């Protein structure tokens, strides 16, 4: 019997190594695998390359940090690949001090590079970023009269994903805007670990409504995480 | 821009959003960027079917929900809770940017730091060396949408021009902007440069030119 | 009010020009927009480039032809881009006689090129086809130690699509295996025309279950086409 | 291959499919190509959860349905009506080939015309000039799946070898095959060449070598 459910956070995090590239889904607090992120902090892997839409919000001095910012603050992130680094964030501080590297890329290029990794496309051309700082050092070629730059796939050793419902095959559905990066990161992770709000039987999710088929999923942990918080 | 002394009253953020919303026809697919552009959604008449896209995987965003009707799972690209029109849909980030980059949006409305006479846009950083780099989806939108309209204050807080012969900040995309809505005027970007197609009441063309580095043309 | 429904086949086919590239969805007879294909035959556009998974089944001499084979037989297809040309088909005959050009490509490359067109990716590298006849004339570059070839996007002037249910915004869902090429061709067509088995009100299709959002759809025609036939 | 005279009975199509099915462990994601590979689905025990993929956008294909329980909307890549396991799912063609090309399949089983000692596969055309070109998904599968097993008759109908030093037909993909199931034997492709890991009862190694152009090694 296929059963991708794990019974503990330790099992969910087993084998994540120093130096790993970790894809972390979510947009704002919606669809963000917060429990798995806490699990990763607890687990201890360091020297990570983290791929995430935003490297964290504005940090008020003295306020508690969590999530990506906490991982950075603990010195566990070597490099972040993201579409937002805010100057007044923990990530901004670490980049300014030269303690962490940041590759800031257009959000659509980020999404497409992740999807490409999952789909076996090693590289593709895109007009996004041509003629900007993003194009520095990249090959340029013209298509349909527009300059395009060559971008490479962005695979993860690990993907951390949040689902609304999951079954033991690892089939997933997402609630509303929590879908965001989750399905494509699930595709692009060599090891895809999911936290799910709800568990259902195999066959309960209609075949036409499954968003992420279990083929992209390795481990599922049941975490009743509650509603996303309102974050800016 | 001391309005009392000058006999005209620059638009506020809401005024700019409302002015722009007037010009969006029914049936368009429109992405609204972070900042003033986000406010545009609240000024599209409820009976005009404009389909608002959000980068985080939503089509059909409606006006902001009443406080007790918020859905915590439904936020826009500015991380504000929003509501969904009947007919709206959800999809993942690669599909969302396929819409953007594949040329499927009729319009995107972006905030701006600077716009140049050839349509160049700068809206994500003030210099190449800045630590903060907030690119987000702006480069994708500026390159991918069929039309790019920018909405921004006509000048900076300390009075520096933003409508320029050439951008001094790092570009978001080259030659992408077709129209600019400011708190003073509406300008079309044409092969001849900026053409003034609307001004706020009480403002003269020469006064507008005085706030503008790039040369302006009358419509 | 947005209303993408058209009331006649003539309206559905209006403006399709000689020389157009037409994407035709379906796999076997499932998800095949047969009514629209008949409409295209009736409408008269010629010198077409047709993009379709299979250029048609084995043809028995004297048997009636339909669909793609009929379009070819009427001399309306200049070129077919496909993953299957059977020697003993109408398409095979026309290719053999030099009356029609055929570009035969791996099915996954076909799908990815169509999706790329819809997603604004002008070209991408893939290991599929490297070192084979498919690679002839194509740029080769090595990624992760494997030779990859450069493939270009495949956009359509027109896409013909079959849906199970549609609303007036053009939102679509598909039944079971009829999904196949339909969503990606809908993305890649400059003019996307849909035949739908069922019509529903806007808001009736749950937002989480819509497979093709209306942004990719231009015209919808209601055609109660019945079940797909069993074809080989 | 006159079995009566030679004291062994080559497997039929069903026998080859059944033999191969034995070796697929629970939990694998497997694509079954057109022809004999398609028959494999019918020989996976119902209680062994193997998830069968079909290029036309299906995971979880089960054995052929009873005649009166057919679903006309549910066909496999061979255009045969099939049934779906609980847990199965549907997706579009680009997502389907993302599974194939992205390395997510544990195994694909393909038919073959020729297999070479280095794992080269030819299975779609007999010459470069042939009008019929039936590539389908074979090139994607051969390159993308974690393992490629080929199932085919050991020799052609007129007795020509198909297990070769080098393929003479146009390639499907280079160095992709890891195992070959024929009506006579099971061969592993190794860096040293073909290794015989199983033979049908009554067949000797030398007899097998006689039907095979490429040199064979004992396991």
Are C30 and D75 in contact (CB < 8 Å)?
yes
Residue C38 has pLDDT above 80, yes or no: yes
Contact check, Cβ <8 Å, D103/A120: yes
In this predicted structure, the answer to whether residue C232 has a pLDDT above a threshold of 60 is no
* pLDDT exceeds 80 at position A232: no
Mean per-residue pLDDT for B172-193?
98
CA of B59 to nearest chain A CA: how many angstroms apart? Answer: 10
With 70 as the cut, is the pLDDT of residue B11 above it?
A: yes
How much is the pLDDT for C62? 87
Q: Is C47 in contact with C170 (CB distance < 8 Å)? A: no
Q: What is the pLDDT of residue B4?
A: 53
Phi/psi for D163 (5° steps) reads: -100, 105
CA distance A74 to chain C (A): 33
* Region D72-95 average pLDDT: 95
Residue C207: its chain A contacts at CB < 8 A? 176
B58/A28 touch (CB, cutoff 8 Å), yes or no: no
For chain B, list the contacting chains (3+ Cβ pairs, <8 Å): A, C
Question: Which pLDDT does position D2 carry in this prediction?
Answer: 53
How do beta strands D29-32 and D51-54 pair? parallel
Kindly provide the b/e burial profile for residues C103-133, where b requires at least 16 CB atoms within 10 angstroms of the residue's own CB: ebbbbbbbbbbbbbbbbbbbbbbbbbbbbbe
Q: Is the pLDDT of residue C194 over 60?
A: yes
| pLDDT in the model for residue D6 | 73
Picking from A47, A40, A49, the residue whose alpha carbon sits closest to that of residue A21 is A49
Q: How confident is the model at residue B46 (pLDDT cuts 50, 70, 90)?
A: confident
Phi and psi torsions of D38, nearest 5°:
-60, -35
Closest-CA distance of chain C to residue A208, Å = 6
Residue in chain B nearest C202 by alpha carbon: B87
Helical spans, DSSP H, in A100-181: 107-119
Q: Which of D131, D125, D108, D214 is nearest to D172 (CA)?
A: D125
Evaluate if residue D3 carries a pLDDT over 70: no
Which residues of B are known to be catalytic?
Answer: 55
A135–chain B Cβ distance below 8 A for any pair = no
Judge: C177–D74 Cβ closer than 8 Å, yes or no: yes
Dump pLDDT digits (tens) for A118-176: 999 999 999 999 999 999 999 999 999 999 999 999 999 999 999 999 999 999 999 99
Q: Which residue of B has its CA nearest to C117?
A: B102
Domain ranges (residues) in chain A = 9-222
φ/ψ of C203, rounded to 5, equals: 100, -15
**Catalytic residue list of D:** 55
Give the pLDDT of residue B5.
63
CB D214 within 8 A of CB D116: yes
- Three-state secondary structure of chain B: CCHHHHCCCCCCHHHHHHHHHHCCCCCCEEEECCCHHHHHHHHCCCCCCCEEEECCCEEEEECCCCHHHCCCCCECCCCCECEEEEEEEECCHHHHHHHHHCCCCCEEEECCCEEECCCCEECCCCCCCCCCEECCCHHHHHHHCCCEEEECCCECCCCCECEECCCCCCCCECCCCCEEECCCEEEEEECCEEEEEEECCCCCHHHHHHCCCCCEEEC
Mutation target to probe the B interface, by most B beta carbons within 10 A, among C169, C183, C185 is C169
How does residue D5 score in pLDDT terms, banded at 50, 70 and 90? low
Contact C87 D171 (CB under 8 A): no
pLDDT score, position A231 = 66
Which two structure tokens, joined as six digits, stand for A166? 């999951």
Write out the two tokens for C173: 């869902």
How many CB pairs lie under 8 A apart between chains C and D?
146
Q: Residue B134 and residue A84: Cβ atoms within 8 Å?
A: yes
Q: Is the pLDDT of residue A78 over 80?
A: yes
Contact B178, B187 (CB under 8 A): no
- What mean pLDDT is reported for chain C? 97
Q: Do chains B and D touch (3 or more CB pairs under 8 A)?
A: no
How confident is the model at residue D46, as a pLDDT?
84
Q: How confident is the model at residue B2 (pLDDT cuts 50, 70, 90)?
A: low
Query: Cβ–Cβ of A28/B75 closer than 8 Å?
Result: yes
Q: In this complex, do D99 and A202 lie within 8 Å of one another by their Cβ atoms?
A: no
pLDDT of residue D54: 97
Minimal Cβ distance to C121: which of A124, A152, A176: A124
Q: Which of C119, C187, C202 sits opposite B87 (nearest CB)?
A: C202
Between CA C156 and CA D10 the distance in angstroms is: 50
Would the CB atoms of C124 and A121 count as touching at under 8 Å? yes
Chain A touches chain C, with at least 3 Cβ pairs below 8 Å, answer yes
Across the interface, do C120 and B26 touch by the CB < 8 Å criterion?
no
CA distance B169 to B112: 11
Cα-based angle B174, B179, B184 (whole degrees, multiple of 5): 125
**Mean pLDDT computed over D188-217:** 97
Q: What is the pLDDT of residues D52-70, one digit of tens each?
A: 999 999 999 998 888 888 9
Give yes or no for residue D36 having a pLDDT over 80. yes
Which D residues, 83 through 102, put their C-beta within 8 Å of a C-beta on chain C? 90-94, 96-97, 100-101
Nearest residue, CB atoms, B101 vs list A85, A96, A126 = A126
Name the β-bridge partners of A79.
A49, A101
- Look at C134 and D136 and tell me if their CB atoms are within 8 Å: no
- Note whether C116 contacts A: Cβ–Cβ < 8 A: yes
Average pLDDT over residues C83-111: 97
What is the percent of chain C where pLDDT is above 90? 96
Residues of chain B positioned with their CB less than 8 A from the CB of C117: 102
CA distance A129 to A125: 11
**What is B4-218's CATH number?**
3.40.1080.10
Q: Are A74 and A43 in contact (CB under 8 A)?
A: no
Confidence category of residue A230, pLDDT binned at 50, 70, 90: confident
Q: Could you report the predicted ipTM of this complex, rounded to two decimals? A: 0.97
Tokens of C150: 């450069």
Angle at D101 between CA D114 and CA D83, to 5 degrees: 85
pLDDT digit string (tens) for C142-182?
999 999 999 999 999 999 999 999 999 999 999 999 999 99
pLDDT at B6 over 90: no
pLDDT (mean) for D1-28? 88
Q: Give residue-wise pLDDT tens across range A16-30.
A: 999 999 999 999 999
Mutation choice for C interface testing from D56, D93, D103, D146 by most C CBs within 10 A: D93
Q: Taking the domains of chain B in order of start, what are their residue ranges?
A: 4-218
Q: Which residues of B touch A113 (CB under 8 A)?
A: none
Q: Does domain C9-222 match CATH 3.40.1080.10?
A: yes
What confidence tens digit (pLDDT) does each residue in D119-155 have?
Answer: 999 999 999 999 999 999 999 999 999 999 999 999 9
What's the mean pLDDT when you consider all of chain D?
95
When scoring D83, D119, D131, D175 by the number of chain C Cβ atoms within 10 A, the one with the most, hence best to mutate, is D131
Chain C residues in contact with A152 (beta carbon < 8 A): 143
Q: What is the pLDDT of residues D151-198, one digit of tens each?
A: 999 999 999 999 999 999 999 999 999 999 999 999 999 999 999 999
Q: Give the separation between CA C141 and CA C164, rounded to whole angstroms.
A: 42
pLDDT for B1 equals 55
Residue of chain C whose Cα is closest to the Cα of D140: C128
What pLDDT score does C231 carry?
66
């Amino acid at each position: 019997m296929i059963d991708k459910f794990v019974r503990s956070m330790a099992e969910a995090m087993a084998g994540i190594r120093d130096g790993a590239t970790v894809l972390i889904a979510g947009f704002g607090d919606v669809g963000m695998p917060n429990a798995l992120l806490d699990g990763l902090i607890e687990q201890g892997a360091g020297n990570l390359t983290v791929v995430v839409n935003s490297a964290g919000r504005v940090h008020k001095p003295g306020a508690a940090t969590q999530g990506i910012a906490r991982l950075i603050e603990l010195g566990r992130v070597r490099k972040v690949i993201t579409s937002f680094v805010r100057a007044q964030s923990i990530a901004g501080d670490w980049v300014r001090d030269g303690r962490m590297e940041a590759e800031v890329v257009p959000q659509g290029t980020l999404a497409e590079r992740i999807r490409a990794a999952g789909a076996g496309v090693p590289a593709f051309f895109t007009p996004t970023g041509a003629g900007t700082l993003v194009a520095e050092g990249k090959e340029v070629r013209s298509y349909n009269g527009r300059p395009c730059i060559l971008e490479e796939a962005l695979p993860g050793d690990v993907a951390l994903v949040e689902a609304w419902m999951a079954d033991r095959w690892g089939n997933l559905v997402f609630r509303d805007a929590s879908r965001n990066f989750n399905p494509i990161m699930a595709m692009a992770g060599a090891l895809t670990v999911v936290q799910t709000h709800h568990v259902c039987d195999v066959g309960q999710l209609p075949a036409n409504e499954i968003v992420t088929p279990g083929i992209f999923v390795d481990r599922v942990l049941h975490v009743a995480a509650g509603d996303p918080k309102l974050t800016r | 821009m001391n309005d009392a002394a000058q006999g005209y009253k620059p638009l506020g953020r809401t005024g700019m959003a409302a002015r722009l919303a007037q010009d969006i026809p029914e049936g368009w697919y429109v992405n609204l960027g972070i900042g003033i552009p986000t406010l545009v959604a609240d000024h599209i008449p409820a009976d005009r079917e404009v389909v608002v896209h959000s980068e985080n995987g939503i089509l059909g965003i409606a006006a902001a929900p009443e406080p007790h009707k918020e859905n915590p799972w439904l936020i826009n690209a500015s991380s504000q809770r929003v509501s969904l029109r009947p007919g709206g849909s959800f999809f993942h980030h690669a599909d969302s940017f396929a819409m953007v980059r594949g040329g499927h949006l009729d319009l995107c409305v972006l905030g701006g730091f600077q716009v140049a006479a050839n349509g160049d846009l700068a809206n994500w950083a003030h210099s190449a060396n800045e630590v903060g780099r907030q690119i987000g989806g702006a480069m994708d939108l500026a390159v991918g949408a069929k039309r790019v309209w920018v909405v921004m204050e006509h000048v900076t807080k300390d009075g520096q021009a933003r409508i320029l012969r050439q951008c001094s900040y790092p570009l978001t995309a080259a030659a992408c902007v077709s129209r600019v809505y400011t708190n003073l005027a509406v300008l079309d970007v044409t092969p001849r440069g900026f053409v003034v197609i609307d001004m706020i009441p009480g403002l003269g063309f020469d006064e507008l030119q005085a706030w503008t580095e790039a040369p302006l043309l009358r419509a």
